[in-house]
Amino acid sequence: MSKVHNFSAGPCILPQEVLKQASEAVINFNNLNLSLLEISHRSKDFIEVMENARNLVRELLNVPDNYEVLFLQGGASLGFLTAAYNFMKIDGSAAYLNTGTWANKALKEAKLLGGVLEVASSKDKNYNYIPKNYQIPGNADYLHITTNNTIFGTQLKKTPISRIPIIADMSSDIFSKKINVSDYDLIYAGAQKNMGPAGTTLYIVKKSALGKTGRTIPSMLDLEVHISKDSMFNTPPVYPIYVSMLTLQWLKNNGGVEWIEGINQQKADLLYNEIDNNPLFKGTAEVDSRSNMNATFVLTNDDLKDEFDSMWQAANISGIKGHRDVGGYRASMYNALPLESVQALVDVMKELAKKHS
């Protein structure tokens, strides 16, 4: 069978060689004659996986020594709460940039713990742009941003200039491009886009910023607890962490974040160029806010929907149906999606235009 062009928005495509190794480990891991799924998380073999995964994050993102790297559970959705618990002081407040559904959810959880100011919102245009020129209150405990918005196809191109600490949910664009970790006090990200399968969540946190809220934090939400136990306070999600480690190793072996950033730019350029030049398609996000991870677009003539849908399905393309909040199409081009898959989609778009020119 020829491989599917998998544009799924997440969980999403992973490198073929990672899947092969991941499959083998379920039968016989490290030649132990045991499955990875049935060994103790305290065994030296798994501790090595955890440490490799944490070290690969450090290496790939140039994480400074005063930051800690953790692999926890709960997705970004638990991260929304964890972020607020660890950074919002008792009687404190926080500033949130509202760029869509996930930013809203983060803001909602923070409200349970204190005052939340929405510094700017792009809700007026169904979140199709990243707000600019907003004021960040100097007395808030932190500014929270969502660096990439999967549903609306927008992405922050620059880290905001802020005098207060920045917390970033990078679930859908971490490891897709270079970042400067020291711009942030906390970065968190669900694994299931560029890092691995669903089931683990990465935290990168500045140690000296913790322990200052005056709160008693529940153990599982307390980043200092997890740091003190080397990311093994409780049984970690063994398999998702292992597959994340393999994926990060794949990224490193191929040239790291700098390498993938170039390829991701090529993929985005190829698709957005077609969207802009093909009269049958139109992008939904404002040009300077476009995401390199998720390109959202619609047909200029809805009557062509059935025809276009049949054509891309026939080309073995999968997962480009748009989110219901935007409609149309969404092509997610995460790290493991090859340029050829984008070319396959562009070819179908060109073919449609040719038929109707």
Binding residue numbers: 42, 76-77, 102, 150, 169, 192, 234-235
By CB under 8 A, tell whether 202 contacts a second copy: no
Find the largest Cα–Cα distance for the chain.
Answer: 66
Q: C-beta of 129: minimal distance to a second copy in Å?
A: 26
Whole-number minimum distance, CB 80 to a second copy, in Å? 8
Q: Which of 102, 177, 185, 312 is catalytic?
A: 102
Catalytic residue check, 158? no
The single residue among 236, 256, 283, 328 that binds a second copy, judged by CB under 8 A, is 236
354 is catalytic: no
Is 114 a binder of a second copy (CB under 8 A)?
A: no
| 165 touching a second copy, by CB under 8 A | no
Name residues contacting a second copy, limited to 132-151 (CB under 8 A): none
Q: Does 76 bind a second copy (CB under 8 A)?
A: yes
| Catalytic site includes residue 193 | yes
Q: How far is the CB of 35 from a second copy (least distance, A)?
A: 5
User: Is residue 37 within the footprint of a second copy (CB under 8 A)?
Assistant: yes
The residues of the shown chain that bind a second copy, judged by CB under 8 A, are 1-4, 6, 8-14, 19-20, 22-24, 26-27, 32-35, 37-41, 73-78, 80-81, 105, 108-109, 112, 190, 192, 196-200, 216, 218-221, 233-240, 243, 318-319
